[in-house]
């Protein structure tokens, strides 16, 4: 089969190559990939800016498909079932986090497309326990967005204290920021989404899908804008989804006294922040990293919720052969979520 693989560490070293079809081992199921999302992590991997990588490895960690082969010892799954697949390839199963179902904190966690062969290929072999049946009416495109949706669901529903009637600030209008905004609105909050002038289309997309306020943080002072919208109160909860120092500082300044800041984005380096604000305003600062099995159950159920506007975030679906052109578009921040479909030629 064809597979888009990172062959070794270093700049580039990503190629579409021919590899044997994977065979499902004990406890595994083989999935025929119908749709797989490209994300910022894949771009970082292309440029060798992702630490945990274990090449040679097939990329692709956001995916959906059809069961096409069941390994020994697997019960309850049969060929042809439509599934979304957790991006967690495995964890130790013994540590305190695994025992509590918090696998995202396991020091031995492995992820498809990073430390185990992923889904930019015709087939992928996965642990059967990673499968989730798609709800009636959910498309493969929507299901391929279950992974970023899980990031948003974990941040909003599992880590934050968002209540109905809250005003929520979200910085960074990429896929994760858009989904955090949508899930916060599902929770009854109204949302202020902030980006820069280069994010014009993304901010327009957000307002078209229901976000109440969009702010250009390079044209307007963001904490002042949040103050204007909240009549001086400040945001109840801020989700930082940009991974940029200025955005982190704005979140700490724009959140109300006693409010919460949830860090979702990664900066990849140390940042300078006004740490005293956390003390002086009694801010609760909280990290939110990926997701776990519970998050997946909630998110897959949400895929068929008409209030979520997942289709609006999709910028196109392409064959594996066009991966380089599509990666280029991602890098130039054109569009939002690009999908690869190995069945297309």
With 0-12 / 13-18 / 19 or more C-beta atoms within 10 angstroms meaning exposed / middle / buried, residue 322 is middle
CB of 193 to Zn ion, least distance (A): 20
Contacts with Zn ion, residue ranges (CB under 5 A): 39, 41, 91-92, 95, 98, 106
Which secondary structure element, helix H or strand E, spans residue 186, and what is its range? Answer: helix 175-186
CB of 336 to Zn ion, least distance (A): 13
100 neighbors 7 (Cβ within 8 angstroms)? no
Alpha carbon distance 135, 217 (integer Å):
38
Query: Which C-beta is closer to Zn ion: that of 106 or that of 255?
Result: 106
Query: Which C-beta is closer to Zn ion: that of 111 or that of 192?
Result: 111
DSSP annotation of 130: G
CB of 337 to Zn ion, least distance (A): 10
Q: Give the pairing of strands 57-58 and 2-6.
A: antiparallel
3-state DSSP assignment of residue 191: strand
With 0-12 / 13-18 / 19 or more C-beta atoms within 10 angstroms meaning exposed / middle / buried, residue 296 is buried
Query: Which C-beta is closer to Zn ion: that of 59 or that of 98?
Result: 98
CB of 338 to Zn ion, least distance (A): 12
Cis preceding linkage at 56, omega within 30:
yes
Query: Which C-beta is closer to Zn ion: that of 283 or that of 303?
Result: 303
3-state DSSP assignment of residue 200: helix
Cα radius of gyration rounded to whole Å, the chain: 20
CB of 39 to Zn ion, least distance (A): 3
338 neighbors 329 (Cβ within 8 angstroms)? yes
Query: Which C-beta is closer to Zn ion: that of 104 or that of 196?
Result: 104
Query: Which C-beta is closer to Zn ion: that of 91 or that of 263?
Result: 91
CB of 205 to Zn ion, least distance (A): 19
């Amino acid at each position: 089969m064809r597979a888009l693989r990172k062959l070794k560490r270093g700049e580039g070293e990503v190629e579409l190559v021919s590899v044997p079809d994977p065979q499902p081992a004990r406890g595994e199921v083989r999935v025929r990939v119908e749709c797989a999302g490209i994300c910022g992590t894949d771009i970082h991997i292309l440029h060798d800016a992702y630490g945990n990588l274990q090449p040679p490895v097939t990329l692709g960690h956001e995916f959906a498909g059809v069961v096409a082969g069941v390994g020994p010892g697997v019960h309850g799954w049969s060929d042809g079932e439509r599934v979304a697949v957790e991006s967690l390839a495995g964890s130790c199963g013994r540590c305190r986090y695994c025992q509590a179902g918090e696998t995202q904190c396991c020091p031995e966690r492995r992820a498809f497309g990073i430390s185990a062969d992923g889904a930019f290929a015709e087939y992928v072999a996965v642990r059967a326990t990673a499968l989730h049946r798609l709800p009636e009416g959910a498309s493969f495109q929507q299901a391929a967005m279950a992974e970023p949706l899980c990031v948003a669901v974990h941040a909003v529903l599992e880590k934050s204290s968002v209540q109905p009637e809250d005003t929520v600030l979200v910085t960074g209008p990429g896929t994760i920021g858009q989904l955090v905004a949508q899930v916060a609105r599902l929770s009854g909050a109204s949302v202020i989404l902030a980006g820069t002038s280069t994010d014009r289309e993304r901010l327009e997309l957000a307002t078209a899908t229901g976000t109440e306020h969009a702010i250009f943080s390079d044209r307007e002072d963001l904490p002042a804008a949040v103050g204007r919208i909240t009549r001086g109160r400040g945001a109840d909860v801020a989700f930082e989804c940009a991974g940029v120092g200025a955005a982190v500082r704005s979140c700490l300044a724009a959140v109300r006294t006693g409010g919460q800041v949830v860090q979702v984005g990664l900066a990849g380096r140390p940042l300078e922040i006004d740490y005293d604000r956390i003390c002086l305003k009694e801010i609760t600062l909280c990290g939110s990293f990926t997701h776990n099995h519970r998050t997946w159950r909630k998110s897959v159920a949400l895929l068929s919720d008409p209030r979520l506007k997942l289709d609006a975030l999709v910028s196109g679906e392409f064959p594996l052969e066009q991966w380089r052109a599509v990666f280029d578009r991602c890098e130039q921040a054109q569009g939002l979520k690009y999908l690869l479909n190995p069945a297309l030629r």
